[in-house]
Amino acid sequence: MLPIYFTIGEDKHIKVIPNTQAQVNGHPVLTYTYNIYLRSEHEDEALEQQQEAELLLDKKLSPNYLGYITFEEPGRMFSYTPDGKDELTATEIEEIIENISHYRDHPGMWQLEE
């Protein structure tokens, strides 16, 4: 599944990589865990490949990694696990959950970038 990109707050650029591996009939299964990265202006293919390669690692190596959000009960219960050098605020987490929920509710949007 492709990453999704959006901006929260005034100008915090976010990249979300869904943590999905399984496929059903050739289509990705909707995931419940989303890795959150600060999107770099100078992001290149090598950095993107590194981030995707480390999805299965317990500890992410990217300096832009902000942790992950788990949808325990979509629409009702979520958890944020900070796991990078920086943490998101409660307001930023809420905004990210709203954005992810919008994409989850409209799966055709996953192909689009900001």
Q: Is residue 57 part of a domain?
A: yes
Q: How many domains does the chain have?
A: 1
Is the pLDDT at 74 greater than 80? The verdict is no
Question: Can you give the residue range of the structural domain that contains 39?
Answer: 4-109
- Residue 65 domain flag: yes
Tens of pLDDT along 39-51?
877 666 666 767 7
Torsion of CA 98, 104, 105, 110, to 10 degrees: 110
Task: Tell me how far CA of residue 32 lies from CA of 44, 47, 106, in angstroms.
Answer: 27, 24, 15
Whether residue 114 lies inside any domain: the answer is no
Residue 73 — very low, low, confident or very high, per pLDDT cuts 50/70/90? confident
For 18-37, write each residue's pLDDT tens digit.
Answer: 876 555 666 655 568 899 99
Rounded to two decimals, the pTM is: 0.75
Q: Using the predicted structure, report yes or no on whether residue 109 has a pLDDT greater than 80.
A: no
The closest of 76, 69, 114, 61 to 92, measured between CA atoms, is 69
Is 52 a member of any domain? yes
What's the helix, strand, coil split of the chain in %, to 5?
A: 30, 30, 40
